[in-house]
Structure formats: C-alpha cells, structure tokens
C-alpha cells in the first residue's frame, strides 16, 4: 500500500512531509508530520498525550510545549480553528482527537503505531522509523555546516514583504530564570533584521508589549502597520540552544516559512545573523552587500560572556520601571564581568557606557566623575571594536551632547541613522536634539519616523510640550501610560506637562508615581504629605529641600530638575544657581544638566529676560 492518505480534502504525503490541496502545498517539520500520523492512526478517537509522546519522541524527554507547538503548526497548515475545530480537537488535560475523515488512497485502514499488523498495512506502522531515518540523514547533512536546521516553507509564498515585527521569543527552557536569555535573543534578532535598509522593522520596545497578549496576529500587524510577523521560541539546556522561528503573512494569517536551529550557546550570535538572512531571502527583500557581510561576519562568543551581557541588558531595561540605581549598578557589574571574560566583545562596552549614563537613555541619578570617565572609555573601546555600529554612534552623539560639542553630536546621529535607519531611538534623540538647538521642522520629521518604527511608544508628546500645546501632549502621554503604566520617566514627563498647564492635583499624582517607579518612595510620601497639608507650592518646596539634601550626600545629581522646581516657585536666583552648577560640573560629570534645553525648555521662560541667563546661553555655545 502507498503511505499517502487523505485527511478531509487534504492529501498527506508523509514520505516527503507535505500536505496539499488544490495544488497548494505546505511542508511540515518531520516531528509535526509524525504527530499527524499518530492522530490519523486513531482518527475519531482520543489519543492521550503520553501515547503521542511515546510514539513521536520515544527516546527523548521534551516538554508539553513541543506537542503544543506541533498541534499549532498542524492547525495553521489545515487552516483550522481551535475554538471551532474541523480537523483537530483538544481534549483538555487529556490529549487530542483528529475529527476529520481519514482515508488511505488504497482503501486500507491506517495502521495504529505499535499494533502487530501484517502485509501492506504495516507500511504506515513503519513510518516512524522511516521519518527517523530521513531525519537523521537531514541532520547529518546540516551538521556538516555547523548546526541542525529543520523547517518548511509554503511553496507559493505571499507577495514581497517590506515591513515586519518580531514578537518576544517564548522561553521554553525548563528554567524560568532563562527569560533574560530569550529576551536577549529577541533583541539580537531585531537588531540584525533592522540593519537591512530595505526592510522596516518595528522596535523591540513596541513588540515587547505583545509578550502575553491574546490578540490575533492580524490584529497585532494592523496595530504595528506591518505586513508580516515573526514569532518563535528559545529552549536552552546547558550549552545547547534550540531556536524556532515562524514567518506569518499577517493579512490572511498564513504561515510562509518556519525553521528550527539547534546550536551551541557560543554560536547563537552567528545563528541570529543566519536567521536574519534566511528571513530576508524568504520575503524577497534586497540585502546590500555590506549588510550581508555584517550579518555573516558574526564571531563565536564564550557562553559566559553572552550570559553576562544579556543579563546586564535585562537589568538595564528595568531602570525607572519600579527600580532605581540598584539596577544600573547590577547591569554595570554584569557588563564588566562580560568584558573580563572577553575584552574584545564590543556590545559589553556599549552596555557598560549606558549603565554609567547620565544623559540620552537610561538615567543614572547620581553620576560621579568616575561614571563620566568609565562612560567615555567604554564608548571609545566600543567604537574601536565596532566602528560600523549604529548604536555606538548614537552613544557617541549622546557623549558629544554631554560635552556641548553640538556639531559633533549632529554628525554622530546622522552616522547612526545612515548605518541603521530602523533604530527608533536614534531618530527620537536626533529629533529632540534638533528641536533643542532651534530646528523644530527638521526635528519633528525625525520624531515621526521614530513613531512609525515604534508605534506603541509615543515620540511626539514632548514635541507638543515644548511647543506649549499642553493639551495634545497630555492626551498622547496618557495613551502611552495606558500601554506602559510602569514607565517612571513617562510619568515624570506627564507631571511636567500638568504642572505647566496649572493642573496641580494631576501633576502631584504623576510625580508620586514617577518617584515610586524610580525607587524614591520616601520622597513620594514627603511630597504627598506636604501637598495635602499646604498645596502644590508647598509640595515643590518639600521636594526641593529633599533633592538638595540628596545632592549633598551624593545620592543624586539633577541640577536641571532643581532649576525647573525653582522656576515654578518663582525663585530665579536659585534656578540660575543650579544651572550654573550644571555648567561648573560639565567636565567632571559629563551630564549636560538640562543645559541642552536652555533655549527650548518652557520651564525656563521666566529666566530668559535675565542677563545672567543670556550669558549662560552664550557660554554653553548653543547654535544661534
């Protein structure tokens, strides 16, 4: 008997791992096909999960996730719906049932795995051994090229794709603490894909919001304004990593391509470049020779280096989201650890610089002269090791702002964007830099590009704030906070807008939330008590006193923030004192202290008629 059979209108051909209907063919992974064969052998009956595991993975321990993914792949292939199944029904906590009609081509029954049958009917019972043999041949061939890769692609793929988003890769490792590793793999894949200039790639900060969503892929794609979605998983066991990725054409939720790769941890950076190139080829997007070379020339990385680096990034992303400088400190130690393991691993220097940062990204509340020197040295080393990194040139631009080298800052931002036009952070920071130096029309164009690449994070609210359009700024920020209520810096920005709009109760509420999320619970309580007792200005005075005490004890350094408080209180002398203090500390702290915004910050409005303020603007050297 032939091994092919029908499931409903679909022709199943296990020998070549395909199912087809009306000339439309879908290739399945070998293990996914084995699951289908197992279900087909008992069509119409419940097949317990343990039977499927013993049949498909007889000598290998795998988690339930492997079976769930296989069932999901079959449903995609058959265009089935788990809520109203026409092919595969889930029996909760027990197993699965193939509800569609199964008909072997020659009319014989499909043999059940493990039953003693004779003659031609034994052919299907032997399929598992055939698949194992075919799989071993494939694996052997692929291992010769450095790793295992199994997958499929739809033969008649969709139209060329020019925009996509990578959803957070699921952590399928047995250890839940490996979440940071899956997050790091997601970030690396987005970074690699974003270097393809012909492709629009959505920022990680927008994609991250769909980590635990129940939204459908077409809905997610519509919200992000992309044509395709990549989803997948990471499973790590010791120093082995398995990465699975699927490419879905979003308008009709059609799976175009899927691959699984298994490598050593030291190979995963190389693997991400390989995966990015494979996706680019599948979606028929043009990759420039320089981009292809960069994706191909990825070094092996010591697993200890990769662990420390990815864990460092995980901590760095937590700053201001319920945590303060303790997370910056933890991140800095991990990046330094990665450098000690491998002094030539460039990304660790980039992370180290941001962990000691006082401007242009993650905020460190108490920068010291040592932080400034570490940041500069780390940036120089990162640039030496990877001169074509967009992230490195963005960092160099931020450092140029710290030193008031305005022309150098603009050149570095332009270089960063030329190297990676998909970096929303670069467009955002360059946009606000242009607005600060008096070129708002150019700046807002950059901000709109950042918004396009990072649609789930607002990039225009601050623009309206600086233009004095407080109502529009409040509305945009409010939507941002609905999506990310744990973002302390966004709460602080909303406080600023409410304060200048004269909405004092709302301003105090946002300020308290910001303090709590940045790790200043005590200050939040003090401000709240003062407001309830004597009103808004009393709360500001309490805050200023608390802030100045922390300055003297070395806990924080925020001169621009203090200058804003005293402007609201009408104390111009004290406001100018703190702006001058920022000027005095320029070369020891490397934090611009709010001086970039001397000309554009609406808080400083009451100071602009003061000759001392005009003299400070001149000394800072902002472009006229």
Q: What is the dihedral of CA 115, 118, 123, 126, to 10 degrees?
A: 40
Cα 546 from Cα 569, distance rounded (Å): 15
For residues 601-606, give the mean pLDDT.
Answer: 93
Q: What is the pLDDT of residue 157?
A: 47
Q: What is the pLDDT of residue 587?
A: 54
> In percent, how much of the chain has pLDDT > 70?
86
Q: What pLDDT band is residue 474 in, cutting at 50, 70 and 90?
A: very high
Cα 6 from Cα 21, distance rounded (Å): 10
Q: Has residue 61 got a pLDDT over 80?
A: no
419-456 pLDDT per residue, tens: 999 999 999 999 999 999 989 999 999 999 999 999 98
Please give the CATH architecture assigned to the domain spanning 5-148. Answer: Orthogonal Bundle (1.10)
Please give the CATH architecture assigned to the domain spanning 163-300. Answer: 3-Layer(aba) Sandwich (3.40)
Q: What is the pLDDT of residue 142?
A: 33
Q: What is the pLDDT of residue 174?
A: 66
Q: What pLDDT band is residue 365 in, cutting at 50, 70 and 90?
A: low
Cα 624 from Cα 613, distance rounded (Å): 15
Token look-up 């994070």 returns: 457
DSSP type of residue 104: E
93-124 pLDDT per residue, tens: 788 999 888 887 654 444 444 333 333 233 33
Pair of tokens at residue 423: 């970096």
**Mean pLDDT in the chain?**
82
135-172 pLDDT per residue, tens: 333 333 333 333 444 454 444 445 678 899 999 998 88
Q: What pLDDT band is residue 321 in, cutting at 50, 70 and 90?
A: confident
229-264 pLDDT per residue, tens: 999 888 887 778 888 888 888 888 888 888 888 888
Domain positions in the chain are 5-148, 163-300
Q: What is the pLDDT of residue 307?
A: 87
Same CATH topology for 5-148 and 163-300?
no
For residues 338-346, give the mean pLDDT.
Answer: 93
Q: What pLDDT band is residue 382 in, cutting at 50, 70 and 90?
A: very high
212-231 pLDDT per residue, tens: 888 888 899 999 999 999 99
207-221, 470-484, 528-542, 579-593: least confidently modelled range? 579-593
For residues 74-99, give the mean pLDDT.
Answer: 85
| Helices 30-40 and 64-78, axial angle in degrees (round to 10) | 80
pTM above the 0.75 mark?
no
Q: What is the pLDDT of residue 148?
A: 43
Q: What pLDDT band is residue 552 in, cutting at 50, 70 and 90?
A: confident
Pair of tokens at residue 619: 């000394």
Cα 295 from Cα 220, distance rounded (Å): 27
Q: Has residue 408 got a pLDDT over 90?
A: yes
Q: What is the pLDDT of residue 593?
A: 61
Cα 305 from Cα 265, distance rounded (Å): 10
Q: Has residue 1 got a pLDDT over 50?
A: no
State which H helix or E strand residue 418 sits in: helix 406-419
Q: What is the pLDDT of residue 300?
A: 77
Closest C-alpha to 187, from 214, 158, 208, 218 = 208
Q: Which of 121-130, 353-362, 563-572 has the highest mean pLDDT?
A: 563-572
Q: What is the CA radius of gyration of the chain?
A: 29
Cα 512 from Cα 336, distance rounded (Å): 34
Higher pLDDT, 103 or 603: 603
266-291 pLDDT per residue, tens: 777 777 778 888 888 878 777 788 88
Q: What is the pLDDT of residue 351?
A: 92
CA angle centred on 260, ends 71 and 292, rounded to 5°: 140
Q: What is the pLDDT of residue 30?
A: 82
Q: How many helices (H) and strands (E) does the chain have?
A: 28, 15
Q: What is the pLDDT of residue 243?
A: 86
Cα 132 from Cα 539, distance rounded (Å): 72
């Amino acid at each position: 008997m032939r091994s092919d059979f029908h499931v409903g209108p679909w022709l199943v051909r296990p020998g070549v791992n395909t199912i087809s209907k009306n000339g439309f063919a879908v290739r399945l992974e070998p293990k996914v096909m084995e699951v289908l064969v197992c279900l087909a052998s008992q069509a119409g009956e419940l097949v317990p999960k343990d039977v499927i595991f013993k049949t498909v993975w007889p000598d290998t321990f795998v988690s339930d996730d492997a079976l769930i993914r296989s069932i999901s792949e079959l449903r995609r292939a058959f265009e089935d719906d788990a809520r109203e199944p026409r092919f595969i029904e889930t029996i909760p906590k027990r197993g699965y049932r193939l509800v569609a009609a199964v008909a072997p081509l020659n009319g014989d029954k499909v043999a059940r795995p493990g039953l003693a049958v004779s003659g031609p009917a034994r052919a299907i019972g032997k399929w598992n051994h055939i698949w194992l043999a075919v799989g071993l041949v494939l694996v052997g061939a692929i291992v010769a090229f450095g790793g295992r890769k199994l997958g499929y692609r739809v033969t008649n793929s969709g139209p060329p794709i020019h925009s996509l988003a990578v959803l957070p890769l699921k952590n399928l490792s047995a250890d839940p603490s490996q979440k940071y590793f899956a997050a790091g793999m997601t970030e690396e894949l987005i970074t690699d894909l974003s270097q393809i200039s012909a492709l629009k790639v959505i920022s990680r900060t927008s994609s991250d919001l769909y980590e635990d969503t129940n939204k459908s892929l077409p809905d997610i794609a519509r919200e992000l304004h992309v044509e395709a979605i990549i989803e997948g998983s990471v499973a790590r066991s010791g120093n082995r990593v398995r990465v699975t990725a699927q490419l879905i054409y979003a308008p009709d939720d059609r799976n175009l391509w899927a691959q699984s790769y298994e490598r050593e941890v030291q190979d995963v950076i190389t693997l991400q470049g390989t995966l990015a190139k494979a996706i680019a080829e599948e979606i028929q997007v043009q990759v420039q020779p320089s981009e292809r070379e960069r994706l191909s020339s990825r070094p092996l990385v010591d697993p200890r280096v990769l662990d420390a680096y990815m864990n460092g990034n995980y901590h760095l992303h937590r700053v201001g989201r319920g945590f303060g400088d303790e997370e910056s400190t933890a991140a800095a130690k991990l990046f330094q650890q990665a450098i000690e393991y491998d002094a030539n691993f460039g990304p660790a220097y980039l992370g180290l610089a941001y962990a000691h940062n006082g401007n242009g990204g993650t905020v460190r509340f108490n920068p010291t002269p040592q932080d400034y020197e570490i940041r500069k040295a780390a940036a120089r080393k990162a640039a030496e090791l990877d001169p074509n990194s967009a992230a490195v040139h963005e960092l160099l631009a931020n450092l140029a702002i710290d030193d008031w080298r305005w022309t150098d800052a603009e050149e570095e931002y332009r270089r960063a964007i030329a190297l990676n036009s998909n970096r929303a952070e670069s467009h955002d920071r360059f946009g606000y830099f242009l607005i600060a130096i008096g070129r708002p029309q150019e700046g807002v164009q950059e901000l709109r590009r950042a918004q396009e690449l990072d649609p789930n994070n607002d990039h225009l609210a601050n623009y309206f704030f600086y233009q004095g359009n407080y109502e529009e700024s409040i509305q945009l920020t409010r939507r941002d906070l609905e999506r990310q209520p744990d973002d302390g810096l966004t709460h602080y920005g909303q406080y600023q807008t409410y304060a200048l709009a004269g909405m004092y109760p709302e301003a105090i509420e946002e300020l308290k939330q910001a303090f709590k999320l940045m790790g200043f619970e005590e200050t939040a309580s003090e401000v709240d008590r003062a407001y309830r007792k004597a009103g808004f200005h009393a709360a500001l005075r309490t805050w200023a006193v608390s802030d100045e005490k922390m300055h003297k004890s070395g806990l924080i350094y925020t001169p621009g923030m203090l200058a804003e408080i005293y402007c609201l209180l009408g104390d111009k002398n004290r406001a100018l004192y703190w702006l001058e203090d920022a000027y005095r500390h320029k070369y020891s702290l490397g934090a611009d202290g709010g001086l970039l915004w001397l000309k554009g910050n609406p808080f400083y409005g009451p100071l602009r008629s003061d000759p001392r303020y005009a003299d400070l603007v001149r000394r800072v050297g902002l472009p006229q």
